Structure 1
Amino acid sequence: MEFFPFLVTLLVVLRLFSLSATSFAVLHNDIIRPSDVLRDNHNDYTDTANLLVSKEGRFVLKFFSPYDLLNHRYLGIWYNHTTYIRPVWVANRCKPMEDSSGLLSIDNKGNLVLFSEENNSKREIVWSTNSSKQAAKPLVQLLDNGNLVLRDEKDANTTNYLWESFDYPTDTLLPGMKLGWDLKRGLNRRLSSWKSFYSDPCDGDFTYGIELDEKRHTYPQLTVRNGSAILYRQGLWDGMSSSDAVDDSIFNSVYNDDEVYYTYSLQNKSMMPQIVLNYDGTIEPSWDFGTFYGAIPRDKCDYYGFCGANSQCNVVSVTEEPICQCLEGFKPKNQDNWNSRSWSEGCEPYSPPSCHDEVEEEEGFEFDQYSGFRAPDTNYSWVTKTKDESECRSKCLSNCSCMAYSYPFSESIYSNEDCIHWFGDLFDIRQLSSSRFEPHTYIRISNSKIAPKIHNETRADGSRGKYTVRVGIQNMVALFLVSPLSFASLQIIAQGTQSGLKPRGNVAYQQNLKFLDG
């Protein structure tokens, strides 16, 4: 009988040692192999055997339920040991499991598969990676940057991943993630909002990403869309944006023949940052432990086309209504509505549209230089290559449909030949804070008899034009203004009047930046 208590004590000690050893191993178990299964432990997070934790413990992959939908089970990646109430990535975001029967494993084709097991027998595939490539010894690893990757056991080269969660983001942009295009693969990495704030991670109404039309050679820009409509955009996409970010944040952009993307990093590795596209379409940056630093859009000028066409939106202060002004050479389409601060109809040119093929560069067109303003919507733009800004201007003048131009990097540390031309009405120009870098935009006007009237006229807010730079000479030639062109007509006009067209430069741009402002 004396042996029995000793045996019980021994078994308890061995069990405790087993649990301790298992916990210690799993805290550093960031890998799933074909023989492993990650099971839904129904929120029992003391069961570390069914958690996948990155090597340094920064991120964890686990099953979860939204706070008010306990019968909906999802698999997601979270910041570990934080008060964050939402995951940064969800696998089965639109196909929840109804119970805690979820299993995650690698199938015989080398793909990562999430099953729902019914009655411990029948398995239903809920989600899988569907990689077309196969590895001799596949494994899944959760990295300390929050990226879940499928790779070969003997090949940790990032360019050889068979699949990675960073290519398929949900609503959150983590440091190191690429927001934008892999042009070789035709992959568009963009954020999509949740349907509701906490309870439904399925794709909502809003998307956030880089817009680029290769066929029309438009210049890239960051936009948030509500369905198919632009809700707001973040200006001329050149990677040099201003900030609400912490001082050691680094925002980089790459723009070349293979990729067009935007990314960021923090030098302080102890912080836990994320940029979230909320269910209501706002963007919120958080730099540490869920502390958010204000949402975008901040004011009415941030909303797309608030002042209509051929106008600019100015914010006096965040507590006051914005002021809309027609661009130089333009007048309100409806003066009565404009005076009553109903600005959506926008502006039109003072002089009747006209253009003559024989007009040459020096015969009477001039440009207003707009500094400290967000450039017009680049969906109506065309990118070409020029040797310098002078040639960029000349090409615009030689095309009667060209309404504005910008040579974005003429003043930056980079040597680039991108020349941007805008055609038709100019949309969504707004005043920016003085801290923001935005290349000059030169908007075309006619140097006609109407010019003195335009320059002497007081604008809607009582001010006069302050950003005018003359590059033409005094002649009396009217400006030909076209309405926004269709894809086909834009191609015909641009191809017939420009040479050296190329969609992008084979150059990568990198700069210490701050978070986007407008």
Structure 2
Amino acid sequence: MMGALSFLIFWFSVLTLFCQDINIAAYTLTPSQSILDGQTLLSQGEKFELGFFSPTNISKNRYLGIWYNLNVVPVQTVVWVANRESPLKDTSGVLKIGASGNIVVVNQTEGVIWSSNVSKTVDNPILEFLESGNLVLRDVNNSSSETYVWQSFDYPGNTLLPGMKVGWNSKTGLNRKMSSWKNFDDPSYGDFTDEMANTGYYESFIRKGSRNIYRTGPWNGLGFSGAPDLKDNPIFTYEVVRTADELYYMYQLVIKSVILRYVLTQTGSEGLLQRLTWVEKANKWVNLVSIPRDRCDDYGLCGAYSTCDSTIVAVCQCLKKFKPKSPLDWSETDWSQGCERETSLNCTEGDGFIKYTGVKFPDTTGTWFNTSMNLEECRVKCLQNCSCMAYANTDISGDGSGCIMWFTDLTDIRQMNNAGQDLYIRMAASEIDLHANSKMKKRVIIIVVFTIVSGMIVVVLGTWYFWKKRSLKGGHSEKDDLELPLYQLVTLASATNNFSEENKLGEGGFGPVYRVNFDITGSVHNAKYSLHCDGK
């Protein structure tokens, strides 16, 4: 009897557990479930896999991470790690939803190794592994992304996947940034980060610690002013989104079958941001872009009021109307001190602006912007403030719009040649006059040269036409002399017997026609030729 009762209790428990989980999808985890080391959870669509791993076969450390399903990318490629700073030393790790409603990784003694660590709780939490690779904690009855309690996409590692954000949430203070692994065997935080400057105006930096290594240049409505490789393409879209609470960059795939990711790598003291795609036929990741690209991408290489041009040997050049601050250092290719004005500003006497074209905009630290102003309004406002060093449009799409003004020394400018934007830099009034006079002289020279050359061309063509016409006229006269000779009246009268009726052949609209008795030149003709005259 007791055996039968135990049997019924056992199956009742199994049935109850089954009924609880019958509506739970395979890519989710409930508070009653867990993932042990050696087990994995596949994402919706089975593109990604969640579980415990070691970075290399040599390492004994265990981490909870997300990687591409090996059926999709046969080389293990980890895209996110939970316990980066707290590795497990054995295979006792367990992933579950803890009593507090947080996601936790615990060891064999139930000690918490890692936690999602959120204060907000829900009554019925569920862990869901989305097709995008995003691991989210939410209420089982609410799948809206706006109500997620926690999500892995808010905490990027060294990889940026489609749909991930890099940027700030001003409401929560969250800074979504990429961070390199210390090395290929250690996913703990390395020296490099890729993040957005928290200035309200979007531009992204690669930093080593607190030192800037690379800057994208500010967003201009079409792209980043210093990132020419980021263009419209059929594979992915990209955008910068600015709302009342958020400012971030994000990209999305257009062709869903493409596998694309950004990775911030660290090799020794060097850091690179790479755009990689998986090529199935080659069975490897192919690097499409590496940033920094060249010396001119090195932040602040040329100092203030200078521009960097990678197409020339001495890459740093002072801007027009500026000179090296330290000529000796500059000649020895130490450009760090930058350049200074040839003529100092004098706001009370009136300054102006010189237009510099095709440049990557200066560092936007210490700038002010207004997206509703036009360029002329921007110029007037900048001119009224003696501390304003330069201005430009914030958005170059269409006819251009918005206003950005700089109030500090202009640094990290790059010549973009066929790309870049227009920048208006404040100059002394005398420099503006000289610049205008120089431009006027150039215009005058061009006009004079054009006039002289045009005149010479007209003279040459006129002379040629005159001699050509004369030559043609001479040729026709000679021909006319051969085909239509002129004779004296006495000669014609003799040839026609004084225009006798016997020699008259007939008469038409042009007068009578006569037959000649002999060749006019004197040779025998036998009346084979006739002479047509006008009857006079």
Deviation readout 1:403-461 (Å, 9 max, x if unpaired): 1011222x414986x42110121000002252x4x44221111231686489979xxxx
Q: Quick one: distance in 1 between partners of 2:239 and 2:371? A: 23
Structure 1 residue aligned with 2:62: 73
Show the 5 A alignment for 1:54-133.
54-67=43-56, 69-81=58-70, 82-117=73-108, 122-133=109-120
The CA deviation at 1:238 is: 3.2
Structure 1 residue aligned with 2:178: 191
SS at the partner of 1:201? Answer: strand
Call closer, same or farther: CA 1:455–1:306 in 2, change over 3 Å: farther
**Match status 1:420 vs 2:437:** no
- Name the amino acid aligned to 1:443: I
Greater shift in the superposed pair: 130-139 or 90-99: 130-139
Count residues in correspondence. 403
Call closer, same or farther: CA 1:403–1:127 in 2, change over 3 Å: same
Give ranges in structure 1 of 5+ residues lacking alignment.
1-24, 42-49, 458-463, 465-518
Structure 1 residue aligned with 2:379: 393
Q: Return the match for 2:273 from 283, 299, 302.
A: 283
Query: Which structure is higher in helix share?
Result: 2
Q: Quick one: distance in 2 between partners of 1:212 and 1:349? A: 30
The CA deviation at 1:397 is: 0.5
Call closer, same or farther: CA 1:392–1:144 in 2, change over 3 Å: same
Structure 1 residue aligned with 2:222: 240
Q: Return the match for 1:221 from 203, 208, 212.
A: 203
Structure 2 residue aligned with 1:135: 122
SS at the partner of 1:235? Answer: coil
Deviation readout 1:43-99 (Å, 9 max, x if unpaired): xxxxxxx21101211111111101154310001111112144431100001110000
Q: Quick one: distance in 1 between partners of 2:333 and 2:235? A: 42
SS at the partner of 1:154? Answer: coil
- Name the amino acid aligned to 1:33: T
Show the 5 A alignment for 1:483-502.
none
- Name the amino acid aligned to 1:29: A
Structure 2 residue aligned with 1:3: none
Structure 2 residue aligned with 1:343: 335
CA contact (8 A) 1:33 1:140 kept: yes
CA contact (8 A) 1:329 1:451 kept: no
Q: Quick one: distance in 1 between partners of 2:115 and 2:345? A: 57
The CA deviation at 1:384 is: 3.6
Deviation readout 1:257-283 (Å, 9 max, x if unpaired): 221000001111111111011113210
**Match status 1:315 vs 2:310:** yes
CA contact (8 A) 2:222 2:397 kept: no
Call closer, same or farther: CA 1:107–1:414 in 2, change over 3 Å: farther
Show the 5 A alignment for 1:137-152.
137-152=124-139
Call closer, same or farther: CA 1:330–1:207 in 2, change over 3 Å: same
CA contact (8 A) 1:109 1:134 kept: yes
The CA deviation at 1:368 is: 2.5
Deviation readout 1:480-518 (Å, 9 max, x if unpaired): xxxxxxxxxxxxxxxxxxxxxxxxxxxxxxxxxxxxxxx
**Match status 1:372 vs 2:358:** yes
The CA deviation at 1:385 is: 5.7
- Name the amino acid aligned to 1:115: V
Q: Return the match for 1:300 from 295, 320, 323.
A: 295
TM-score, reference length from structure 1? 0.73
Q: Return the match for 1:202 from 176, 180, 188.
A: 188
- Name the amino acid aligned to 2:115: S
Deviation readout 1:116-152 (Å, 9 max, x if unpaired): 11xxxx2211111112222221110111101000011
Call closer, same or farther: CA 1:453–1:384 in 2, change over 3 Å: closer
TM-score, reference length from structure 2? 0.71
Show the 5 A alignment for 1:247-258.
247-258=234-245
Q: Quick one: distance in 1 between partners of 2:403 and 2:259? A: 38
Greater RCO (CA < 8 Å, at least 6 residues apart): 1
Call closer, same or farther: CA 1:371–1:354 in 2, change over 3 Å: closer
Greater shift in the superposed pair: 387-396 or 31-40: 387-396
CA contact (8 A) 2:347 2:386 kept: yes
Report percent identity of matched pairs: 41
Q: Quick one: distance in 1 between partners of 2:372 and 2:36? A: 59
Q: Quick one: distance in 1 between partners of 2:163 and 2:399? A: 23
Call closer, same or farther: CA 1:433–1:138 in 2, change over 3 Å: farther
CA contact (8 A) 1:386 1:392 kept: no
The CA deviation at 1:209 is: 1.1
CA contact (8 A) 2:27 2:42 kept: yes
- Name the amino acid aligned to 2:53: F
Call closer, same or farther: CA 1:299–1:139 in 2, change over 3 Å: same
Call closer, same or farther: CA 1:140–1:397 in 2, change over 3 Å: same
The CA deviation at 1:178 is: 0.9
SS at the partner of 2:153? Answer: helix
Structure 2 residue aligned with 1:446: 428
Deviation readout 1:203-231 (Å, 9 max, x if unpaired): 11111111023xxxx52211111111111
The CA deviation at 1:306 is: 0.6
The CA deviation at 1:366 is: 2.8
**Match status 1:268 vs 2:255:** yes
